[in-house]
Chain A
Amino acid sequence: MDAMTHKATASVADPVTFYGTDVTSRLLLGTAQYPSPAILAEAIRASGTEIVTVSLRRESGAAKAGQSFWQLIRDLGVKVLPNTAGCRTVKEAVTTAEMARELFGTPWVKLEVIGEDDTLQPDVFGLVEAARILSRDGFQVFPYTTEDLVVAEKLVSAGCEVLMPWGAPIGSGRGLNNPYGLRSMRAHFPGIPLVVDAGVGLPSHAAAAMELGYDAVLLNTAVAKAGDPVRMARAFAAAIAAGREAVIADPMEVRDMAAPSTPVMGRALLGS
């Protein structure tokens, strides 16, 4: 595509489509670990996000914390993407997804099947199996996966129309551990919405993901655990928009040798 076509056809305001639903914001935000519900609400507003992730946990009879949390999310008017965080087996993940669908009234599910404690690395074998079961049952699955292309192919065959490879282990803030792998994934799946999910620590990491041509970034801890989560939410929104704009602008080629940017013609001859 030449530069003029780029400019004519693409814009940062273009929506990304997840299972037929258009969203303009390319930031998906987690709702955990904020200093207070008020700061969570303010960070969501500041981020401009249209999709937040939520979870399911045991409700205690006395506190009923879940009820007030749900009221807060509903008042914000954002779409919810329920997760199966912490699930370690296919059965656990599938049952949790079913319960989330009833509770939140959405077929969307961020499917996590965790395989390893230190890295919270997905169990990709369980993930593919759970994705197949849930897709068949009418769910619209957002799988939390690795950058492995074979696994990604199997997820697509299982019915996934979105892929969410990790940047780095959940909550680590390390950024993009394997930019080469993420770039390969982008090249292999040009028509599938790709979201970097997990491990993003800084706005520059999110911008880098967008510069690789990713459609969106999902993060939580980087905003929630910042000294000023609301300000950090704004910083991420700006970085993601910048990365998206950069892709549309079609970056220059990287080269090994210097090339003068100032014209050489007309240079004065000074000195002895």
Chain B
Amino acid sequence: MKIIVNGEPADTAAGTLAGLLAELEMADAIVATALNGDMVRAARRGATPLAEGDRVEILAPMQGG
């Protein structure tokens, strides 16, 4: 299934957002996630299915001013 992860085209076999994070070896990472522009809380990732063309954002703490 083709989706967009952090602005880049990606191919995934994962059925859920939690599955995608595991696929990307970020299951235990400190990240926040959004699907198609809306936030998905960590607790909801396992119950959030992915569909063809979905836009996923995976954000982490970063330097800022």
Contact = CB atoms under 8 A, between A and B. Distances in A.
A54 B61 contact: yes
For chain A, what secondary structure do more than half of its interface residues adopt (helix, strand, loop), or is it mixed? Answer: mixed
A160 B61 CA distance: 24
A103 B32 contact: yes
A185 B63 CA distance: 30
B58 interface: yes
A18 interface: no
A119 B15 CA distance: 44
Contacts of A64: 26, 29, 60
Interface in B10-59: 24-26, 29-34, 37-39, 41-42, 57-59
A100 B50 CA distance: 23
A85 B63 CA distance: 11
**A: contact size bracket:** 35 or more
Contact of A55 (B31, B57, B62): B62
A99 B32 contact: yes
Interface stretch (A66-74, A186-194, A208-216, A258-266): A66-74
Interface of B: 6-7, 24-26, 29-34, 37-39, 41-42, 57-65
Interface of A: 30-34, 40, 53-61, 64-67, 69-70, 73, 82-83, 85, 91, 95, 98-100, 102-104, 170-171, 220-221
